[in-house]
Structure formats: C-alpha cells, structure tokens
Structure 1
C-alpha cells in the first residue's frame, strides 16, 4: 500500500514531532513525502526526512519525495540540495 504524507507549510522545530509521527505511521509500506505546500524546512525536519528515506530503503520499501522545489534555497543553505534532488535514487 502506498501512503502519502502531506508535509506542513513550515518544517521547523515545532513541526518535528508531528512530522515524525506522520511518517512513522506509514512504516511497513510505500511512502510519498509531499512538500508541495511547504515553504520552509529546518535542519531537524530535514534530518527526520533523510533518516526516514534511509530507513524505508534499508527495509526494502518504496519512498519518494515530491514538491520540494519551494524549499530549495533552505536545502541549499543546509547543504542538502544534492540529496533532495535525487528523489527516487538511493541516498
């Protein structure tokens, strides 16, 4: 089963626990992380997303990123642009 997690407008420290819970709710199946409405991403939420991608792939499950274009400047500042540009490739 493929599940989509719609990420919030601000992926900041205040959103981290909720984002983690939403992502963990899809454990055991395919997952799409949809950031099409996201305008800001901070280091903590970026770490949660990267860790989730690695976990899903290590468990042999599909995970994809979409809609991260609006936060590309934040990702560049964090030094993560290349990781998020890979989308469906292995990190």
Structure 2
C-alpha cells in the first residue's frame, strides 16, 4: 500500500527534523511526496530528501514526487537533483 507525505511551504533548517521524523514514520511502504505548496528547498532538507530516496531504494520501495510547485523543482535542481530522479520506480 502506498503512503503519502505533504511537504511544508518552506523546507528550511527548522523543518528538517520534522521532515526526517515523517519519513521514519512512513518507512517500509511505497511513498508519494506532495510538494505543490513548497516554495523553498534548503540544503539540510535537501539532504533529508536525498537520504530518504536512497533508503527507499535500498529497501526495495518506491519514493516519488507526485505533485510539486515550480519553486520546488527549481530548488531541487539548483541543489543538484532534478525531479526525474523522483519519478516512478526506484
């Protein structure tokens, strides 16, 4: 069964711990990320997202971005990870 997480508007350092906790709670199942309201992606939350993607892949589950804002896509790309890494499959 697939689960989902809705990301906050700002993925800054204040959001990193709660983002990590949210991923820990959802581990063990396919996961869809909704980022349609996200307007800022900071480095620490970017690292959490990348680590989660790697963990889901290692666990044999899918982690994908279902919906996103242009700002989220631009922020991820600016930090070195285009969203196609998060599309479909592992």
TM-score (norm 2): 0.85
Deviation at 1:89, TM superposition (A): 5.0
Deviations 1:27-49 (A, max 9, x none): 11111111111110011111101
Contact 2:10–2:40, Cα closer than 8 Å, also in 1: yes
Question: Residues 51 and 80 from structure 1, CA distance in 2 versus in 1: closer, same or farther, beyond 3 angstroms?
Answer: same
Instruction: State the partner residue of 2:80.
Output: 79
**Which whole-Å CA distance do the structure 1 matches of 2:7 and 2:64 have between them?**
13
RMSD: 1.5
TM-score (norm 1): 0.84
Following superposition of structure 1 onto structure 2, how do residues 12-91 of structure 1 map, counting pairs within 5 Å?
12-68=12-68, 69-81=70-82, 84-86=83-85, 87-90=87-90
Aligned residues between the structures: 88
Deviations 1:43-84 (A, max 9, x none): 111110111011111111121113333323322332223xx2
